[in-house]
Amino acid sequence: MDVKIDASWKEILRHEFTKPYFLQVVTHLKTEKATGAVVYPSGSLIFNAFNKTPFEQVKVVILGQDPYHGHGQAHGLSFSVPDSVPPPPSLGNIYKELHKDIGMPIPPTGNLSKWAAQGVLLLNAVLTVRANEPASHAKIGWMDFTDAVIRKISDEKKGIIFLLWGKFAQEKQVLIDETKHHVLKAAHPSPFSADKGFFGCKHFSRTNELLMMQGLDAIDWNPIS
């Protein structure tokens, strides 16, 4: 199957694309399209996180759950929205923590493409969603694929910083070899839980400390230059 994904990821994940679960995902999406369902993000953006952050450039992984399900919001990067869309509540809380942690001004854009370009893999565990139906594609096979992605990163790289926010993301901790990677955990930045441990976590300054300890460039967390 010719999956439109960055060449480095295509090579690393080549065995996944022929497995029954992945073919099931493809069939499900084709069926939904044929029956008139609206699915986000658009087909060209499903693998946007991988295309923006090639495998060899990954330094940090921020794991989300599934794409935003409102019109125009999802563009294939976890927690991110296109420039024309106001930052959703969870991203607003991420910005508040960035302001507290490193003094970053609250930006007007919710587009995190600049993070992705610096090696931050903005990975949703589920890569598609039906319009206005959160978690509607949670059981069609995407979890198998993104679990394989996390395992590949864990197995074939070292020193990666995984930011696991909330119970869902933290369930993926078992896929990560913590003898050679760093796992930072906090509550989810959702308005329902941000004050239960996300605010004050200082994950952004801590991530940069860990990168610089490895001789790597820190992340410029301001999404606008």
Residues making up the chain, counted from first to last:
225
User: Given phi > 0 = left and psi -120 to 50 = alpha, else beta, which region is 214?
Assistant: alpha
Among 2, 6, 66, 147, the active-site one is 66
Tell me the C-alpha distance between 218 and 165, whole Å. Answer: 20
- Confirm whether 66 is a catalytic residue: yes
Torsion of CA 80, 82, 83, 85, to 10 degrees: -90
Tell me the C-alpha distance between 157 and 143, whole Å. Answer: 21
Contacts of residues 41-45 at CB distance under 8 Å and 24 or more positions apart, as own/partner, are 41/67, 41/74, 41/75, 41/76, 41/128, 44/4, 45/74, 45/75, 45/76
Give the residue numbers marked as catalytic: 66
